[in-house]
Amino acid sequence: MSTSHVTGSHTTISSGGLPSRRNTELAMLGFAVLIPVFAYANVGLAINGELPAGMLAYGLGLGLLAGIAHLVVRKFAPYADPLMLPIATLLNGLGLVFIWRLDQSRRLKLLNEGAAAPNQLMWSALGIALFLAVLVFLKDHRVLQRYTYISMVVALILLILPMFFPAVYGAKIWITIGGMSIQPGEFAKIIIAVFFAGYLMVKRDALALASRRFLGLYLPRGRDLGPILMIWALSLLILIFETDLGTSLLFFGLFVVMLYVATERTSWILFGLTLAVVGAVAVASFEPHVQGRVQDWLDPFHVVRETGNPNQPAQALWAFGAGGILGTGLGQGHSDLIQFAVKSDYIFATVGEELGLTGVMAFVLLYGLLIERGIRTALAARDPFGKLLAVGLSSAFAIQVFVVAGGVMALIPLTGMTMPFLAQGGSSVIANWALVAILLKISDTARRPAPAPAPSPDAEMTQVVRS
């Protein structure tokens, strides 16, 4: 990857820069479509003893969507990162297989859980459509910078709206419009990353430099603490009024990460962690819904001991345990015992049971690689807004994966969020496709080779004179 080299007797800086790597992406995409088809066949053989009827249609459908996405990337973001699209396609495809696999479960059918895979396929197609729309219509990510404060207002509205809708399963994170349920938090995470990026780009010098040194820490001035306290208060309000741990953690975590990246001051992280712990403990002390979650986390089996009937966290842990190292095989687990929410919040338990530790690690690595590509994009981006936005979007994704996977595995209290791309949920899959599209667009700008500097006539003349 030589970027500067000598040609002929004159020295030039090559404009070649990075190769576009679109063919790598195409090959990886082909691979990413084949794996879910294999999984689909495997589930069919394991459950019904025959190849599923829709296998060809399913493979062609996923391949077609991926192919269209690839062509549009080729046209509108030719220098974009070659790995994000294949990884997202693979995760989405495998998510569809897992949901379809759970649809086949007799136990869930008895509970009147309708088939979710067709809907999820429709949402995925819509998600890819939004992905394409972002690639086509967002000419340059810097345009988003103009909407810094509009995004703040929109994000606030999206976060506050669910308060006025009835709680579903203990958390108010849905809004219902004409029979359709939407989780506005999923979209808010993208919009709020735009606001943080725009805001911190302007304010970062004030936040980083105007501070006093105390005990080796840079203490920010009182008035600079305003924004972080405001976001903290907001996330506490979400926690109290919507009783939603996940959204609250996501927004506060996102803000602290972006604040740290923008100012390079460790003290913000310490402040953030302190505030988060204080807030969480305070809310957990009086909010029964949160208390219940914390108790399930500290002692997942207390319900089993008290009533003899296992609850969801216990079933999820048993599912992981039953999976062992290599898993029971696709379609051969009993994670449907988790019953309700197994296709959404608890889908990672199915992965853990049927693919085992090996499969879980592969999934975690896939998420990690997608996040790494996002952070790498931030490193390569040339404008501060793009850098901050890329960091924000990838850390929102990372925090979400951590919060869900950690919750299902009882590492942290469980929160009602969805595993990106994998879990059932229209809002989630659509929002995450849009998120990947924005990252791709930033990486296209970042990796696009810069135009060669104008040849200076002076150089030739001085050489002639001097020699």
Partner 1 sequence: MSELTLTVMRLGFLAVLWLFVIVTVQVIRSDLFGTRVTQRATRRDESRRPPQPRQAPQPAAGRGGGRRRGAPTKLVVTEGSLTGTTVALQGQTITLGRAHDSTIVLDDDYASSRHARIYPDRDGQWIVEDLGSTNGTYLDRTRLTTPTPIPPGAPIRIGKTVIELRK
Interacting residue ranges for partner 1, rule: CB under 8 A: 1-9, 11-13, 17-18, 21, 24, 28, 31-32, 35, 38-39, 42, 45-46, 49, 82-83, 86-87, 90, 326-330, 332, 355-356, 358-359, 362, 365-366, 369, 372-373, 376, 379-380, 382, 446, 449-450, 453-454, 456, 458-459, 462-463, 466-467
- Could you tell me where the DSSP H helices lie in 308-453? 312-323, 347-380, 384-408, 426-447
Comparison of 306 and 458: residue with beta carbon closer to partner 1: 458
Shortest Å distance, C-beta 20 to partner 1: 13
Shortest Å distance, C-beta 350 to partner 1: 14
* Block residue for tokens 């999923």: 186
Comparison of 440 and 446: residue with beta carbon closer to partner 1: 446
Comparison of 18 and 122: residue with beta carbon closer to partner 1: 18
Q: How far apart are CA 419 and CA 364, in angstroms?
A: 11
Measured CA to CA in angstroms, residue 270 lies from 253, 276, 395 at distances of 12, 10, 18
Comparison of 355 and 404: residue with beta carbon closer to partner 1: 355
Coil, strand, or helix at residue 415?
Answer: coil
Coil, strand, or helix at residue 266?
Answer: helix
Shortest Å distance, C-beta 12 to partner 1: 7
Phi then psi for residue 376, to 5 deg, are -60, -40
Comparison of 227 and 368: residue with beta carbon closer to partner 1: 368
Structure tokens at 173: 């994170």
Shortest Å distance, C-beta 42 to partner 1: 5
Shortest Å distance, C-beta 309 to partner 1: 31
Sign of CA dihedral 176, 180, 183, 188: negative
Coil, strand, or helix at residue 391?
Answer: helix
Comparison of 38 and 340: residue with beta carbon closer to partner 1: 38
Shortest Å distance, C-beta 230 to partner 1: 29
Comparison of 273 and 365: residue with beta carbon closer to partner 1: 365
Shortest Å distance, C-beta 117 to partner 1: 19
Residue 433 · residue 88 · CB < 8 Å = yes
Shortest Å distance, C-beta 63 to partner 1: 16
Task: Quote the DSSP letter at residue 15.
Answer: S
Task: Quote the DSSP letter at residue 123.
Answer: H
Shortest Å distance, C-beta 25 to partner 1: 9
* Block residue for tokens 């920010």: 220
Comparison of 21 and 302: residue with beta carbon closer to partner 1: 21
Residue 327 · residue 354 · CB < 8 Å = yes
Comparison of 78 and 288: residue with beta carbon closer to partner 1: 78
Shortest Å distance, C-beta 109 to partner 1: 21
Terminal-to-terminal C-alpha distance of the chain:
34
Cα dihedral 246→250→253→256 (10° resolution): -150
Nearest-5° angle of CA 373, CA 358, CA 403?
A: 55
Comparison of 13 and 53: residue with beta carbon closer to partner 1: 13
Nearest-5° angle of CA 27, CA 28, CA 34?
A: 95
- Could you tell me where the DSSP H helices lie in 17-116? 22-48, 55-76, 84-103, 106-110
Structure tokens at 125: 């197609």
Specify whether the backbone of 218 is left (phi greater than 0), alpha (psi in -120 to 50) or beta: beta
Comparison of 250 and 262: residue with beta carbon closer to partner 1: 262
Shortest Å distance, C-beta 422 to partner 1: 13
Coil, strand, or helix at residue 11?
Answer: strand
Cα dihedral 116→120→123→127 (10° resolution): 160
